[in-house]
Amino acid sequence: VQKKPGLRTVTILDVARHAKVSTATVSRALTGSRPMSDELRDRVKESARELGYQVNLVGRALRQQRTSTLGLVIPDLENPFFSSLAQRVSRRFGQTQVDVLVASADNDILTERRAVESFLGRQVDAIVVIPSDELDSRKAVGMASEYVPTIQFDRFVPGLAVPFVGVDNAIGMGHVIDHLEREVDTERFPVVFLGGGQSSSSGRERTVTVTGALPDAWVLDGGFSFDWGQQAARKVLESGLKRGTLVAAADIIALGAMSFIVTSGFRVPDDFRIIGFDDVGVSHLAFPTLTTVRQPITDMTNEIHSLVQRGTTDGSLKATSALFAPEWVMRQSSPGAN
Amino acid sequence: VQKKPGLRTVTILDVARHAKVSTATVSRALTGSRPMSDELRDRVKESARELGYQVNLVGRALRQQRTSTLGLVIPDLENPFFSSLAQRVSRRFGQTQVDVLVASADNDILTERRAVESFLGRQVDAIVVIPSDELDSRKAVGMASEYVPTIQFDRFVPGLAVPFVGVDNAIGMGHVIDHLEREVDTERFPVVFLGGGQSSSSGRERTVTVTGALPDAWVLDGGFSFDWGQQAARKVLESGLKRGTLVAAADIIALGAMSFIVTSGFRVPDDFRIIGFDDVGVSHLAFPTLTTVRQPITDMTNEIHSLVQRGTTDGSLKATSALFAPEWVMRQSSPGAN
DNA sequence: TTGTAGGCGTTATCAT
DNA sequence: ATGATAACGCCTACAA
């Protein structure tokens, strides 16, 4: 790097000269790729330190044809659920010295495409993508998978032969429905489902499950946002309902609804029961704490990690779906045994 | 990229052969770095398309000695304020075809160091860092600035000759204090300041300004988190206060306080007035909407952009502080003229 | 306008 | 155990 004035880049050649050895030896000393005498290794390392040598990963990548880098494309960094997933993926891969580059599609298909192209150009070893849109992301995801092992996370583009890691929404909503049957008098507290829209696989699946099991529930469909939760709650109150059970397709929706409900003078869970979905990131942004369904993020990131591992070694990646069972999390916004 | 089985990397040499031209011509055709006949350019581009050529940015970077890449280090991706800043920085640089790589320090000094090292190794053209800790980040920030143009954003490590872009906290808190003097009867609604801790420059500056101007205010100091906001509000209520003005050092703190206050049966702003700081990202996670002080993010990211521009061309970067004046945003959580 | 060729920094192969 | 060297993909100075 010679961005700073008067600073010449220090390369292994400089280190080699300083330590009076060959560049090959320097490389081996610094990476530990071959055994060598301790004395020599120390001398080389000392020279490197003295000269302020920093490895140039660009040169290494060109030579090795791999970068130890994963590209992660998420729809929106401002959505705390996604940024939370980003954090967790980074952390998991960091454990094995794989750098995760995070790019936001900014909810824009073109930006998403550019992010994928940039990652491919950077020779990332694999790409993990949370598709921004069920249909329009097809091209971006397809392109990624054409060149490197690619995994869809949290949502998938249907009909694409690209592995998917996500949560089993039927089981998750099943937990909610069980809870309603067991603990809630749905005559007195009628169920309203606050959906996350039909433009993502997760949104659709959650809606389908709920409408299937509770044909009498009132369904309001919107998007995965706090604003939508507020609006939906407003509609509920404007309908004259004084009590009810609000089942949201995501915590962020539940939070919006809860804030509107509480601010309007109703109590949670006494008047309205509120149930979320995800328990990731935003869930601690709630008071009273939110009853929800927890996505097993650790398991999912582990699965992604092992899929990537396999994909980058074998070079093959079967187009399987890994669906993880979410867990019921009983908290304060809903009545229950404990 | 030859990560996929049976897929050989397509290079400009392949394209050159296919189009029956030289590699130089291919390079020129694809980058547009030199004028050439339209017919030939089209032929080359067509060949590239046909073969599925993808530029290898690693090769390009090694040759050009620059990457058109900015490294952004933030303390925590799960904090919506920071992820929001990340989003905005990415968006701004995306406008000029500069990729932004986002790395989370995960609130850990060692991880922060590694992120910086990784960025340096990747030969990023510049680094923007929001230091995780006022003291412990010194080494990481210092190292970054030793090799590439580096800018501190939002917080700074004192005594380091590295430019800083941030908000003028004195002016910001000044807005709040003006508001209190003008609109709030602080006898009836005593002021409680909910601080963000003393381990970051922004936290300290905000506390200092408030305690200076309002020596009688009750000061509770904690951290920049929702949880702390809740805890602080609990303390306030436990003190027996039935009315008050809660001035928070950040929106996220204000939100935590508000959720506790409202859930405890008090009304905002009737019983408690709540005022935040930042108006970034999280601010729409509130109902009633939060009166706050807006950081001029657009101006700040523009400034960062132009500093980086200058730094990467001149190679020099003066250690200046660019302090931007925040703006008063009157909303519902506080009483006011409109 | 187009082609030739060298080199960016690193590592793996082949000698020694 | 260590050294010499070619090659990764690209761009650009120089030549034609």
Token pair 């020599």 in the structure block, residue: A40
Q: How far is the CA of B57 from the C1' of D9 (A)?
A: 9
Q: Which of the residue ranges A188-192, A312-316, B207-211, B272-276 would you say has the lowest mean pLDDT?
A: A312-316
Q: Which residue is nearest to nucleotide D9 (CA to C1')?
A: B59
- A323, with CB counted inside 10 A (0-12, 13-18, 19+), is middle
Q: Is the pLDDT of residue B338 over 70?
A: no
Q: In what order do the strands lie in the sheet with B218-221?
A: B218-221, B191-195, B244-248, B272-275
Provide the pLDDT confidence category of residue B6 given band limits of 50, 70 and 90.
Answer: low
Is A147 in Cβ contact with B54 (below 8 Å)? yes
Residue B281 pLDDT: 78
Q: How far is the CA of A22 from the C1' of D2 (A)?
A: 8
Does the CB of B63 sit below 7 A from strand D? Answer: yes
Q: Which of the residue ranges A129-133, B216-220, B285-289 would you say has the lowest mean pLDDT?
A: B285-289
Distances from the Cα of A49 to the Cαs of A25, A38, A44, A45, in angstroms? 16, 16, 9, 6
Q: Is the pLDDT of residue A3 over 70?
A: no
Is A62 in Cβ contact with B59 (below 8 Å)? yes
- Reduced to 3 states (helix: H, G, I; strand: E, B; else coil), residue A245 is strand
Residue of chain B whose Cα is closest to the Cα of A225: B285
Convert the pLDDT of each residue in A193-246 to its tens digit: 999 999 999 999 999 999 999 999 999 999 999 999 999 999 999 999 999 999
Q: Which residues of chain A are within 8 Å of residue B56 when distances are taken between CB atoms?
A: 121, 123
Separation between Cα atoms, residue A44 and residue A30, nearest integer Å: 8
List chain D nucleotides near protein: any atom < 7 Å from a Cβ.
1-13
Q: Is the pLDDT of residue A284 over 90?
A: no
Q: Which of residues 24-43 of B touch strand D (CB under 7 A)?
A: 24, 27-28, 30-31, 33
Q: Mean pLDDT for chain A? A: 93
Is A54 in Cβ contact with B121 (below 8 Å)? yes
Which pair of tokens denotes residue A53?
Answer: 């040598």
Convert the pLDDT of each residue in A60-87 to its tens digit: 999 999 999 999 999 999 888 999 999 9
Q: Which residue is nearest to nucleotide C7 (CA to C1')?
A: B63
Separation between Cα atoms, residue A245 and residue B118, nearest integer Å: 49
Provide the pLDDT confidence category of residue A5 given band limits of 50, 70 and 90.
Answer: low
Listing DSSP states for A46-74 in one string gives HHHHHHT----HHHHHHHHS--SEEEEEE
Q: How far is the CA of A25 from the C1' of D3 (A)?
A: 8
Which pair of tokens denotes residue B115?
Answer: 């992120």
Which of A201, A237, A202 is closest to A218 using CA atoms?
A237
Residue A2 pLDDT: 43
Is A77 in Cβ contact with B90 (below 8 Å)? yes
Residue of chain A whose Cα is closest to the Cα of B10: A147
Cross-strand bridge partners of residue B274? B246
Provide the pLDDT confidence category of residue B247 given band limits of 50, 70 and 90.
Answer: very high
Residue A317 pLDDT: 82
Q: Which residues of chain A are within 8 Å of residue B256 when distances are taken between CB atoms?
A: 285, 287
Q: Which residue is nearest to nucleotide C11 (CA to C1')?
A: A63
Provide the pLDDT confidence category of residue B337 given band limits of 50, 70 and 90.
Answer: low
Q: In what order do the strands lie in the sheet with A244-248?
A: A218-221, A191-195, A244-248, A272-275
Q: Report the length, in residues, of chain B.
A: 338
Instruction: Count A/B contacts: CB-CB distance under 8 Å.
Output: 177
Provide the pLDDT confidence category of residue A105 given band limits of 50, 70 and 90.
Answer: very high
Q: Mean pLDDT for chain B? A: 93
Cross-strand bridge partners of residue B327? B294
- Furthest C-alpha separation in chain A: 85
Is A103 in Cβ contact with B3 (below 8 Å)? no
Q: pTM of the full predicted structure? A: 0.93
Q: How far is the CA of A51 from the C1' of D13 (A)?
A: 31
Convert the pLDDT of each residue in A150-189 to its tens digit: 999 999 999 999 999 999 999 999 999 999 999 988 899 9
Residue of chain A whose Cα is closest to the Cα of B56: A121
Q: Is the pLDDT of residue B89 over 60?
A: yes
When pLDDT is averaged across residues A34-44 and rounded to a whole number, the result is: 92
* Cβ-based contacts with strand C at under 7 Å: A 9, 11-13, 23-24, 26-27, 30-31, 33, 53, 55-56, 58-60, 62-64; B 20-25, 28, 34-37, 40, 62-63, 65
| SS3 readout for chain B | CCCCCCCCCCCHHHHHHHHCCCHHHHHHHHHCCCCCCHHHHHHHHHHHHHHCCCCCHHHHHHHHCCCCEEEEEECCCCCHHHHHHHHHHHHHHHCCCCEEEEEECCCCHHHHHHHHHHHHHCCCCEEEECCCCCCCCHHHHHHHHHHCCEEEECCCCCCCCCCEEEECHHHHHHHHHHHHHHHCCCCCCCEEEEECCCCCHHHHHHHHHHHHHCCCCEEEECCCCHHHHHHHHHHHHHCCCCCEEEEECCHHHHHHHHHHHHHCCCCCCCCEEEECCECCCHHHCCCCCCEEEECCHHHHHHHHHHHHHHHHHHCCCCCCEEEECCEEECCCCCCCCC
Convert the pLDDT of each residue in B290-307 to its tens digit: 999 999 999 999 999 999
Q: How far is the CA of B148 from the C1' of D9 (A)?
A: 25
